[in-house]
């Protein structure tokens, strides 16, 4: 066994080189993850958020297995990961002999845990006299230099680290391009949505299917403003609609609406119409028909203003007290 000489033991890789290798290897994983997300959000996810979450779990499992295989194979038997190859370092045992495939697998497990979960295990090498991170200490490995380091190497390490910081925002931006979180500030959609409900909307559903009658859609305010509206689409372009005694009538036939809430037959909104919805427009109303600012006020909604379709409630709480309404979490919006 070698005698440890701290910072004078020059065959051990310095922290900067390890950061560079770590950043470059993680960059490859982040880019693979982002590419997978791009493919996933571009699929016709007819099940909306639920279908996305199922696909996302498959993506994570596949990426996790791929990462484990990558770090296991290329950190054992004298091999190098892409990051270690670029920076001229490799993982070895305490006696500088190559680590076995079994030890490489265990090291990969410890590596993913200490960096992916705790995220601080790698920083231990800053002040450890053996320059070991936590995963090195757990399995008894060190990282040695096999190629002379230069000022250019240190600059490259900094560039890789900065690229990693920038690239870490890509997955979130990719998901937000398809799914976005909203909240319900008013009672216009009672009882389907309550004030204090937080939900996910699928912004890409119209790339694969047209809006359908009964869809609960999020749209930009027709008369301007910053706050998005959420209402139910009750009629499509070309349909004739009217309301008689609180009953919606489309093209001469009554349509049951078990989800609506009204004050009674004496409501001022109990009878109105008939109207014909223009092409490329829809007619929207809140489920709380007596308390909703909708197409009865601002007119037909141009389909170009539709942002997405409300999909699933991910959190809910009483707006006054903040008391969680756990029973509503995960409920599909329909």
CB atoms inside a 10 Å sphere around CB 140:
13
- Domain presence at residue 102: yes
Q: How many domains does the chain have?
A: 2
Rounded to whole angstroms, how far apart are CA atoms 202 and 330? 15
Is residue 26 within 8 A of residue 170, CB to CB? The reply is: no
Q: Which of 175, 193, 218 is the last residue of a domain?
A: 175
For every residue of 60-118, DSSP letters joined together read: HHHHHHHHHHHHHHTTSTT---HHHHHHTEEEEETTSPBPPHHHHHHHHHHHHHIIIII
271 and 124 assigned to the same domain:
no
State which residues form the domain around 24. Answer: 6-175
- CATH number of residue 191's parent domain: 2.10.109.10
222 shares a domain with 306? yes
Q: What is the pTM of this model?
A: 0.80
Which pLDDT does position 1 carry in this prediction? 36
According to the model, what pLDDT value does residue 7 have? 45
**Same domain as 139, residue 201:** no
Of the CA atoms within 13 Å of residue 55, those in its CB half-sphere come to 19
- Among 142, 175, 208, residue at a domain's last position: 175
The catalytic site residues sit at 188, 231
When pLDDT is averaged across residues 90-100 and rounded to a whole number, the result is 91
State whether 138 and 238 are in the same domain: no
**165-210 pLDDT, tens digit each:** 899 899 989 898 899 999 998 999 999 999 999 999 999 888 888 9
Rounded CA gap, 86 and 98, in Å? Answer: 19
The pLDDT mean for the chain works out to 89
Of 175, 204, 238, which marks where a domain is finished? 175
pLDDT band at 266 (very low <50, low <70, confident <90, very high): low
Residue 333 lies in a domain: no
Cα–Cα distance, 6 to 147 (Å, whole number): 20
Q: What is the pLDDT of residue 62?
A: 95
């Amino acid at each position: 066994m070698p005698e440890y000489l701290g910072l004078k033991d020059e065959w051990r890789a310095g922290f900067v080189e390890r950061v560079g290798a770590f950043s470059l290897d993680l960059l490859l994983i982040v880019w693979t993850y982002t590419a997978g997300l791009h493919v996933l959000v571009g699929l016709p996810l007819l099940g909306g958020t639920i279908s996305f979450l199922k696909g996302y779990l498959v993506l994570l499992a596949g990426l996790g297995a791929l990462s484990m295989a990558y770090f296991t194979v290329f950190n054992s038997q004298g091999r190098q990961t892409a990051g270690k190859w670029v920076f001229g370092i490799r993982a070895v045992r305490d006696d500088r002999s190559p680590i076995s495939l079994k030890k490489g697998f265990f090291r990969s497990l410890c590596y993913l845990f200490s960096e992916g979960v705790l995220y601080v295990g790698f920083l231990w090498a800053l002040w450890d006299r053996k320059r070991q991170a936590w995963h090195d200490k757990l399995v008894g490995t060190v990282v040695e230099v096999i190629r002379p380091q230069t000022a250019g190497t240190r600059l490259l390490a900094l560039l890789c680290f900065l690229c990693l910081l920038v690239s870490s925002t890509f997955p979130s931006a990719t998901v937000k391009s398809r799914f976005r979180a909203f909240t319900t500030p008013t009672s216009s959609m009672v009882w389907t949505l309550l004030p204090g409900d937080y939900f996910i909307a699928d912004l890409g559903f119209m790339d694969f299917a047209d809006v359908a009658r009964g869809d609960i859609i999020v749209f930009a305010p027709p008369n301007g403003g910053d706050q998005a509206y959420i209402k139910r689409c009750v009629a499509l372009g070309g349909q004739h609609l009217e309301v008689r005694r609180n009953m919606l009538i489309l093209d001469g036939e009554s349509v049951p609406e078990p989800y609506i809430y009204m004050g009674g037959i004496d409501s001022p909104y109990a009878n109105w119409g008939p109207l014909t919805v223009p092409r490329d427009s829809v007619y929207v109303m809140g489920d709380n028909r007596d308390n909703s600012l909708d197409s009865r006020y601002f007119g037909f909604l141009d389909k170009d203003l539709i942002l997405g379709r409300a999909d699933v409630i991910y959190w809910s709480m009483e707006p006054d007290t903040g008391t969680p309404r756990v029973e509503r979490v995960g409920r599909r919006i329909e």
